[in-house]
A and B are shown apart, each in its own frame.
Chain A
Amino acid sequence: MGVEGIGARVARKEDKRFLMGQGRYTDDMSVPGMRYAAFVRSPHAHARIRSIDTSAAGDMPGVIAVLTGKEMLDDGIGNLICGWMIHSKDGSPMKMGAWRPIAHETVRYVGDAVAVVVADSMGEARDAAEAVLVDYEVLPAVTDAVRALEAGQPQLHPEAPGNLIFDWQLGDSDATDAAIAAAAHVTEIRIVNNRLAPNPMEPRAALGIYDSAEDHYTCYTTSQNPHVARLVMSAFYNVAPENKLRVIAPDVGGGFGSKIFIYPEEIVCLWASRRAGVPVKWTSDRTEAFLTDAHGRDHVSTVKMAFDADNRITALKVDTIANFGAYMSLFSSSVPTYLYATLLSGQYAIPAIHANVRAVYTNTAAVDAYRGAGRPEATYLLERTMETAARELGVSPAELRRINFIRAFPHQTPVIMNYDAGDYEASLEAAMAAADWNGFPARKAEAASRGMKRGIGMSCYIEACGIAPSAAVGSLGAGVGLWESAEVRVNAVGTIEVLTGSHSHGQGHETTFAQLVAERFGVPIDSVSIVHGDTDKVQMGMGTYGSRSGAVGMSAIVKALDKVEAKAKKIAAHLMEADESDIVIENGALKVAGTDKSVPWFQMALAAYTAHNLPSGMEPGLKEGAFYDPSNFTFPAGCYIAEVEVDPETGKTTIVQFVAADDFGNIINPMIVEGQVHGGIAQGIGQALLEGVHYDPETGQLLTASYMDYTMPRADDLPSFKVSHQVTPCPGNPLGIKGCGEAGAIGSPPALINAITDAIGNNDLTMPATPQKVWAAALAAGN
């Protein structure tokens, strides 16, 4: 590896602009004539709109337009859609209710848009929004998914009787039931996965610019996948044809899944820009973000895990109810199905698995992918069950996992996935050594002498990343292909631009992707620029989520680099009158192996563009593109250990150490990968100890709509983390990469809860494990 190549801890190229206040986020954009949008939002969780009176608002100072859902419908703007088809076990397609960008008859959650005001200033737009009079007929609401399935509950969509979107299953029900009936031991547990708000620090924003002369639209938006946004807004929402719609996602301040989806606001800004004849910018405030950004998780499950007399798992049966909120968000249906039930085998050889999942409408914000998306839910369920079983069986948690680890690869699970490579024992051992697992009893005794309850817990997670191959996800219902594209342009002076369909919103692509090129051609990373996030520059791409930018996005770059290298060698061979098979690329020069003949990289590039002396028949220029579609998902895995102290007087949990041992396959920039793990763990700890979205069950009011009410992890809630990597290269892509973006959030919640329940001697504990809950659980256990 060179100092800037694969495996080097290169400081990030993009940092300087962020550190100097020169990052350019959507809300930083201004264009001549730009005006501001403010939305009128429903204060009710469920209501019929009797009438909307915009006359007073329209007369307010600075107001340019007040627009409603009726006008949007008249203009033919389409319904928002969910792009992943799921069929119920009776064969019927999922029941998707209509989602209007601006509601015109019924509102279904607090925050549903009912009108938009465009005005000269943000203040004037907000003042006028408050003057829009909406007459509502308030209807009863239901926020809890289990309750929403019961008879006699409020009904959200006529398309979905009983609020049931689908009743889906995966696996062999009969074999699973038979194994449970024949088991030596069955562990049963009810698992609640708490609802979370993703909370990227940059609130969503959109700037719509309509050019009437060209009949062309430009949209700046906070998106993880601007090309998918353009595709969906064009093909389904009828905003504009693709060649008349440019979508730009500039610097984006975090996403964590919540900025994958196409929301009503960017559609409205584009449409309103044409309607009002001015560029229109909307920026969410934090309360709007809590109300309208897609939430994550919110599962309730019952679990049965069967063991034989040797403590080997013989079957797993899971029944899950998933809260989808008021509308089906873009990828919502994939989350509790093919991103969840397919991972229920975990790191274990389980002969029979059956999962049943019911998806349910409620009067709450939409629920969709949030960091990990389905895999944290599977891991939390499985790893709490394993820990519970170990306690019931009187086996150490590590031993129970070791007995059941998959040790031969490839391994076909009973729930679709074919694991290609891994070494689960290696991560388990690394984590236990780093945590000094064997020294725990002494530390526990010492803590007890201070009146503190000390506990230790582990979690062995696996996830599936890349969210590809396209044909596989297509067969499972995905409406899009999930490949990635890249284009490598070598300029005449030898500098290089890499255009990618991946999108960086914190992941450091401008550095990591440049390292790939530096490694290949021996050029400095400063001579490599990464271009992304603009549909006018990059032809097509599927964006960044599912830890796919390394495994899929960088693999596309490798394919394009292969083509560039082949042509570069041909040119160099011609210039040096050598055989192209003898050309090697080293330190920025093309050399004839075994001789002192060489051509500098820039000279070869110049030759490609002057075209004065190219091999016969070769086209001038040096630019190559590639699309890459992988052959399988990738399977990062690892072991996390949390050690906590609980103060029995207050119930407060202190994390005394947190250890992560991850196998992400090969790693390009370890510094960036460690940063991804740190951030993921912080979000996982947030879920386990602090965070939870709460709605009032009767009125459907969101009770956690600001940072005063929703507990974000802060610096003094967290420890420093001990992180290590074990490496089994992924055989499925050219770089051997598995992906690292979501692991931290997937592996950490069960480790934390297993540690706390170990400390207090009571397994009956739900997330977030607040001091009040922990104190009550410890008390109930007589501790």
Chain B
Amino acid sequence: MAKVAMTVNGRKVSRECEDRTLLVHFIRDQLSLTGTHVGCDTSQCGACVVHMDGKAVKSCSILAAQAAGAEILTIEGLAANGELHPVQAAFKANHGLQCGFCTPGMVMSAVDMINRYGARLDEKTVRENLEGNICRCTGYHNIVKAILAAAEEMGAAGRQAAE
């Protein structure tokens, strides 16, 4: 057993867990943040993507102990004051989700993608960068549309702020 402390969605947390506990299970079982999902056991599906120190990681592929001291952002921490983040809003406006199971990972990957590429995103880049997130419902068509729409909106907002 080990005591693991980290910051999750802006809140300091500390829990006793088995040494072998994966970050995803720490988040789901110890912190009861069940928005982060487990869809496979080979780090392929991306349903468990969270941000660790500002970068997207598959939380099934690292131990909780490896995240000790880190800043973790999960899907529950993305919306501010109940207002959907622009990526979440774009997924809703563009029907980028159906069953909702892959959605948290998709959204967290999309935010990371937009952070990295900004306005340079195009359809081909979005599709290549979604390689690590599997969706069985949407055929990706509307997910791609949603991410491009969000990138445009966030880029526009960024430009406005800079002006």
Contacts and interface: CB of A to CB of B under 8 A. Distances in A.
Interface in B121-139: 123, 126-128, 130-131, 133-139
A345 interface: no
B40 A681 contact: no
A201 B74 contact: no
A746 to B, nearest CB: 14
B79 interface: yes
Interface string B68-100: 000000111011000010001001110101111
How big is chain B's contact interface, by range?
35 or more
Nearest to A251: B100
A519 to B, nearest CB: 20
Contact of B36 (A21, A671, A720): A21
Among the interface residues B128, B138, B139, which one has the most CB atoms of the partner chain A within 10 A? B139
Contacts of A716: 127-128, 130-131
A671 B94 CA distance: 8
B74 to A, nearest CB: 7
Given A11-B92, A19-B84, A716-B128, A201 B99 contact: yes
Contacts of B39: 201-203, 286
A256 interface: yes
B92 A683 contact: no
Contacts of A16: 84, 92
B44 A15 contact: no
B45 A707 contact: yes
B142 A715 contact: no
The dominant DSSP class at the B interface is loop
Contacts of A713: 139
Contacts of A678: 138-142
Interface stretch (B51-59, B101-109, B151-159): B101-109
Contacts of A744: 139
A665 B145 CA distance: 27
B139 A21 contact: no
B46 to A, nearest CB: 10
Interface in B27-64: 28, 32-42, 44-45, 47
B139 A706 contact: no
Given A715-B144, A721-B141, A201 B131 contact: no
A75 interface: no
Given A16-B92, A679-B136, A123 B20 contact: yes
Nearest to A283: B38
A675 to B, nearest CB: 5
Contacts of A200: 99, 101, 136
Interface stretch (A233-241, A264-272, A505-513, A583-591): A505-513
Contacts of A30: 32
B143 interface: yes
Given A21-B76, A28-B34, A254-B99, A720 B141 contact: yes
B131 A506 contact: no
B88 to A, nearest CB: 4
The dominant DSSP class at the A interface is loop
Interface string B5-41: 0000000000000101000000010001111111111
Contacts of A15: 91-92, 97, 100
A123 B18 contact: yes
Contacts of A680: 139
Contact of B100 (A18, A285, A682): A18
Nearest to A198: B136
B108 to A, nearest CB: 10
Nearest to B79: A20
A287 B123 CA distance: 32
A715 B92 contact: no
Contact of A715 (B74, B130, B136): B130
Given A18-B100, A718-B140, A201 B135 contact: yes
A203 B36 CA distance: 14
A12 B137 CA distance: 15
A16 B103 CA distance: 11
A718 B92 CA distance: 22
A706 to B, nearest CB: 5
A213 interface: no
Contact of B134 (A256, A283, A712): A712
A505 B100 CA distance: 9
Contacts of B100: 14-15, 17-19, 23, 251, 253, 506
A25 interface: yes
A672 interface: yes
Nearest to B88: A19
A30 B88 CA distance: 27
B75 A708 contact: no
Among the interface residues B42, B93, B100, B130, which one has the most CB atoms of the partner chain A within 10 A? B100
Nearest to A682: B139
Nearest to B147: A715
Nearest to B20: A123
Contacts of B41: 285-287, 706
Contacts of A681: 139
B49 to A, nearest CB: 12
Among the interface residues B28, B84, B141, which one has the most CB atoms of the partner chain A within 10 A? B141
A683 B136 contact: yes
A675 B134 contact: no
B122 to A, nearest CB: 12
Interface of B: 18, 20, 28, 32-42, 44-45, 47, 74-76, 78-79, 84, 88, 91-93, 95, 97-104, 107, 123, 126-128, 130-131, 133-145
18 contacts: A15-B100, A19-B75, A21-B76, A28-B28, A28-B34, A123-B18, A201-B39, A201-B45, A254-B98, A287-B41, A506-B98, A682-B136, A706-B42, A712-B134, A715-B135, A715-B140, A720-B145, A744-B139
Given A25-B34, A682-B136, 12 more contacts: A15-B92, A21-B34, A21-B74, A22-B76, A199-B136, A201-B102, A285-B41, A675-B137, A682-B138, A682-B140, A716-B127, A720-B145
> Which 10 residue pairs of A and B lie closest in terms of their CB atoms, listed nearest first?
A21-B35, A18-B100, A253-B101, A682-B139, A506-B99, A21-B75, A707-B44, A506-B98, A715-B130, A678-B139
